[in-house]
Structure 1
Amino acid sequence: MSSTIYIRMKSKIQAKRNQTLYLSDVAYISGHEEWKEKLKDVELYRIKGTDRNIVILDVFRVIYTLHQLYKELELQAIGPNQTIVTIPTNKKQPSLILVCVIWMLLFIGAAMAIMNFHYDVSMEEVQQRLHFLLTGEEEEHPLWIQIPYSLGLGLGMILFFNHLFKKRINEEPSPLEVEMHKYQQDLDQYIVYHENHITKDSDPNDSSSN
Structure 2
Amino acid sequence: MSSTTIYLKLPQVKEVYEPEVYLGMIADVHSSDRAAEAKAKAVKITSFSGKGKEAAFVGNVMELVEKIEKTGQNIQVDNIGESDFVVTYRAGKKKSLVWEWMKTAMVSAVAFFGAAFAIMTFNNDANVTDVFAKFYEMIIGTRAEGPTILEASYSVGLALGILLFFNHFASWKITVDPTPIEVEMRLYEENLNKTLIKNGGRKESGVDVS
TM-score range, shorter chain: 0.7 to 0.9
Q: Structure 1 residue 102: deviation in Å? A: 5.5
Match for residue 14 of structure 2? 13
Match for residue 63 of structure 1? 65
> Following the alignment from structure 1 to structure 2, what is the Cα–Cα distance between the partners of residues 104 and 25?
38
Taking a change above 3 Å as real, the CA distance of residues 140 and 116 of structure 1, as seen in their structure-2 partners, is farther
Decide which of 112, 118, 129 is 1:113's aligned counterpart.
Answer: 118
Decide which of 117, 122, 126 is 2:127's aligned counterpart.
Answer: 122
Aligned runs of 1:1-210 on 2, under 5 Å? Answer: 1-21=2-22, 23-32=23-32, 34=34, 37-49=37-49, 53-89=55-91, 90=93, 94=99, 103-195=108-200, 200=204
Question: Could you tell me whether the CA contact under 8 Å between 1:9 and 1:81 is conserved in 2?
Answer: yes
Question: Could you tell me whether the CA contact under 8 Å between 1:30 and 1:36 is conserved in 2?
Answer: no
Q: For residues 64-122 of structure 1, what are the alpha-carbon distances to aligned partners after superposition, in whole Å with 9 as ceiling and x for unaligned? A: 00111234122222231123211114465538777656644443332121011011112
Match for residue 208 of structure 2? none
Counterpart of 2:135 in 1: which secondary structure? helix
Amino acid at match of 1:123: V
Taking only aligned residues, the RMSD between alpha carbons, in angstroms, comes to 3.0
Q: Structure 1 residue 20: deviation in Å? A: 3.7
- Relative CO higher for 1 or 2, CA cutoff 8 Å, sep ≥ 6? 1
- Could you tell me the TM-score, scaled by structure 2's length? 0.78
Deviates more, 1:58-67 or 1:29-38: 29-38
Question: Could you tell me whether the CA contact under 8 Å between 2:9 and 2:82 is conserved in 1?
Answer: yes
> Following the alignment from structure 1 to structure 2, what is the Cα–Cα distance between the partners of residues 102 and 164?
16
Counterpart of 2:59 in 1: which secondary structure? strand
Identical positions, percent: 23
Question: Could you tell me whether the CA contact under 8 Å between 1:128 and 1:140 is conserved in 2?
Answer: no
Taking a change above 3 Å as real, the CA distance of residues 131 and 35 of structure 1, as seen in their structure-2 partners, is farther
Q: Structure 2 regions of 5+ residues with no counterpart?
A: 206-210
Amino acid at match of 1:146: E
Taking a change above 3 Å as real, the CA distance of residues 41 and 17 of structure 1, as seen in their structure-2 partners, is closer
Amino acid at match of 2:47: I
Question: Could you tell me whether the CA contact under 8 Å between 1:56 and 1:84 is conserved in 2?
Answer: yes
> Following the alignment from structure 2 to structure 1, what is the Cα–Cα distance between the partners of residues 4 and 103?
58
Question: Could you tell me whether the CA contact under 8 Å between 1:4 and 1:76 is conserved in 2?
Answer: yes
Deviates more, 1:5-14 or 1:42-51: 42-51
Q: For residues 154-189 of structure 1, what are the alpha-carbon distances to aligned partners after superposition, in whole Å with 9 as ceiling and x for unaligned? A: 111111111112332221112222122111110011
> Following the alignment from structure 2 to structure 1, what is the Cα–Cα distance between the partners of residues 176 and 189?
20
Question: Could you tell me whether the CA contact under 8 Å between 1:131 and 1:142 is conserved in 2?
Answer: no
Question: Could you tell me whether the CA contact under 8 Å between 2:43 and 2:68 is conserved in 1?
Answer: no
Q: Structure 1 residue 43: deviation in Å? A: 2.0
